[in-house]
Amino acid sequence: MHTQGKLPTPMNTLPSSPSVPLFNINRRRFLQTASGTLAASTLGSFGADIVNQKPRRAGLIGAGWYGKSDLWRLAQVAPIEIVALCDPDKHMLAGAVEIAKQRQKSGKAPATYSDHQKMLKEQQMDIVLIGSPDHWHALQAIDAIKAGADVYLQKPISVDVLEGEAILAAARKQDRVVQIGTQRKSTPHLIDAKKQIVEAGLLGKIGHVDLCCYYHMRANGNPPVEPVPDSLDYEMWTGPAPLRPYDGSPHKRWWRTFMEYGNGIVGDMCVHMLDTARWMLGLGWPQRITSHGGIYVQKEGKSNISDTQTAIFEYPEFDCVWQHRTWGDPPDADYPWALFIYGEKGVLKASTMRADFIPHDKNEKTIHFDCLFEKEQFPEDNTEADIELNAAPATRRHMLDFLAAIEKRSKPIADIEQGHISTATCILANVAMKLGRPVTYDPAKKEIPNDAEASKLLRRAYRGPWQHPFG
């Protein structure tokens, strides 16, 4: 999932067409059939049972781009009643309500809120999806968990390490299923590559992993400070984060360019690729993390996230090395946001769009994996504004896995603990860069041993009246 900057439109992404209805009766009937087929093929007979179950009551916190996208994908694969939407922007809410009425069988308009706590108090929900900016994730996830809901939480799960520990503790204490939106684990061509290349041993002994992002996605500029519009509750949007002077709509990707609300490109894009590498290779916490970088080229503008950064995640038998640049060209034009697993017998290149195994033995053939699209099975995808057609099939399968875990009361494939490890590891890269020295995290003691200065950076200060959830 991309959550920053408008990225180049893939050639096979159709333009949005507001004049075409997003949903009509014929499409709804077609979609129910497609959903059942997908569920059955993905989860066997149990998948078909999901489609035939009584509708679950669902709510969404954060009705922006990817929050809505996740909700529409859930509605495509299972019967749900969207009972409530929460966002501090009235315009965001109004747009989401109109689509929700079309997307659900009842045709009802969900209740709307600007305060998630009020929504959770007034509405009894089985599932809560969270697609708000990163600085709100921890408090909203924990509140939803305590309200008795199972949660689909977007990545990164937190803005500091101890927030993640608090979410994990709450999920385990309340016995709630928490699926993280690291849907690469549910991406068909990456699942195939993992099975046919990594697990089949075609790479041989693995000695190095590269992770990268070279998208020009670092929003920058000097917009003037202006009055907050009546349609936006800016105090609520800001929440526990520092209150910046209002300089334009913050939630349209502008917020990701500030460390006040997230962790830059590492916190946004590295989480996906590191999580994918960890899943493919069975990796846990790294032994040590080093990182260097800064604002080397794009010095104009207000943005305070790095435009260039390298991070080294050290594991017992090899390193995983992250590199991002928000300027210049990628070394491999086919893989601008990707991971590369190097083995003695070849290399596996993998991205959201494709994967290729290139053997060292020139007598052996390259193995290519194509991205799956489901534009025919789910025709409403073709007219949905801003949809990532390459990610939609993965998210649908991710939702089915989430629903299966809810039914079985088991851990989903992107369980909160794994989301915490991937998120925290990337946050620790920023800690290492800020301090200019390596760091090692002890998840048992929840500290960076023998480094009090670094341990203090595991927890951000909150703006009152909000209180940090850890401890």
Spatial separation of the C-alpha atoms in residues 266 and 251, rounded to whole Å: 19
What was the pLDDT predicted at 52?
Answer: 65
- Give the residue-averaged pLDDT of 412-433: 98
Residues 351-388: tens digit of each pLDDT: 999 999 999 999 999 999 999 999 999 999 999 988 99
Q: What is the CATH number of domain 188-374+420-456?
A: 3.30.360.10
Q: What is the largest CA-CA distance in the chain?
A: 66
Output the average pLDDT for the chain.
91
Band (57; pLDDT cuts 50, 70, 90): very high
Residues 295-315: tens digit of each pLDDT: 999 999 999 999 999 999 999
CA angle 139, 141, 146 (to 5 degrees): 95
Please state which of the ranges 31-45, 179-193, 395-409, 446-460 shows the lowest mean pLDDT: 31-45
Spatial separation of the C-alpha atoms in residues 37 and 48, rounded to whole Å: 8
- Give the residue-averaged pLDDT of 433-457: 98
Homologous superfamily in CATH for domain 25-186+378-417: NAD(P)-binding Rossmann-like Domain (3.40.50.720)
The radius of gyration of the chain from alpha carbons, rounded to an integer in Å, stands at 21
Q: Name the segment(s) of the chain with CATH classification 3.30.360.10.
A: 188-374+420-456
Q: How many C-beta atoms surround the C-beta of residue 449 within 10 A? A: 11
Residues 6+ apart with CB under 8 A from 270: 211, 213, 311, 322, 324, 426, 429
CA distances from 33 to 50, 103, 272, 419, 437 (A): 13, 15, 31, 32, 55
Sign of torsion, CA 251 253 255 256? positive
Q: Name the segment(s) of the chain with CATH classification 3.40.50.720.
A: 25-186+378-417
Residues 313-354: tens digit of each pLDDT: 999 999 999 999 999 999 999 999 999 999 999 999 999 999
CB 209 within 8 A of CB 339: yes
> Which residue has 């917020």 as its token pair?
255
One-letter amino acid of 22 = L
pLDDT above 90 covers what percent of the chain? 85
Spatial separation of the C-alpha atoms in residues 149 and 145, rounded to whole Å: 5
Q: Is 285 exposed, middle or buried (0-12, 13-18, 19+ CB in 10 A)?
A: middle
**Does the pLDDT at position 12 exceed 60?**
no
Can you name the residues that pair with 311 across neighbouring β-strands? Answer: 291, 322
**Does the pLDDT at position 25 exceed 80?**
no
**Does the pLDDT at position 101 exceed 50?**
yes
